Amino acid sequence: MKSDSLEIPKIQFDENGALLIVASESSSKDDFDFFQGKSVIKNKKLKQRFVNCTEWIEFPSTQEMYKILNGIGNIDNFLATFDGEPFEGMTVRLFNTKTKLWSIYWADSTTGTLDKPVVGSFENKVGHFFSEDTFEGKNVLQVFRWDARDANNPVWSQAMSEDKGKTWEWNWYMYMSKTK
């Protein structure tokens, strides 16, 4: 069960060129239940993006997730050390009960700001979440993939596209293992 072999769903745009995201039929407020509790993580992050880089930086981290808002949301704390300095990230995930779409927001101790969300849903224990964003002044599409086919060892990954989703560059993988 390799995450790399999974296809990214085809990107669709509305008549005005805006990214169009529709929930899967099975999308549910319980999609992230596999992630509750504590995990240890092996991170593999691309050293540089969009320069044909093949060098990866690997580092450990920990994460703890708990549900909020009577189960339609969750929060996690991501703890790591970069260049000898402590780093903390936080993710807020909210399930829209009307659209059946998840919105995933990120903030960290470097910027102190809440990023615009990636939005999407799960299908067959694999979630894809998209956003239009900028990276170093360029317009990009971003995708987060949650592969929960092995609930005790989920894999999160991130890719970006400079060409409206025709090609993608994977730039971060998180291999998680549940702790008790």
| CA atoms 62, 50, 147, 118: torsion sign | positive
Res 180: pLDDT: 66
Q: Residues 90, 20, 35, 79: what is their CA dihedral angle, to the nearest 10 degrees?
A: -20
- Domains along the sequence of the chain with CATH: 3-179 (2.40.128.20)
Percent of the chain whose pLDDT exceeds 70: 97
Which band of pLDDT confidence, cut at 50, 70 and 90, is reported for residue 2? low
Using H for helix, E for strand and C for coil, what is the string for 61-86? Answer: EEEEEEEEHHHCEEEEEEEEEECCEE
Distances (CA, A) of 137 to 12, 49, 116, 159, 162: 23, 13, 16, 17, 11
Q: How do residues 4-56 score in pLDDT, each as one tens digit?
A: 578 899 889 999 988 999 999 999 999 999 999 999 999 999 999 999 999 99
Give the tens place of pLDDT for each residue, 81-95: 988 899 999 999 999
The pLDDT, as a whole number, for residue 4 is: 59
The pTM of the full predicted model, rounded to 2 decimals, is 0.92
At 135-173, the pLDDT tens digits run 999 999 999 999 999 999 999 999 999 999 999 999 999
Angle (nearest 5°) at CA 156 between 153 and 157? 140
Q: Give exposure, 117-150, as e/b (b: 16+ Cβ within 10 Å).
A: bbbbbbeebbbbbbbeeeeeeeebbbbbbbbbee
The confidence score (pLDDT) of residue 82 equals 85
- The pLDDT, as a whole number, for residue 83 is 82
- The position carrying tokens 């779409």 is 101
Query: What's the Rg (C-alpha) of the chain?
Result: 16
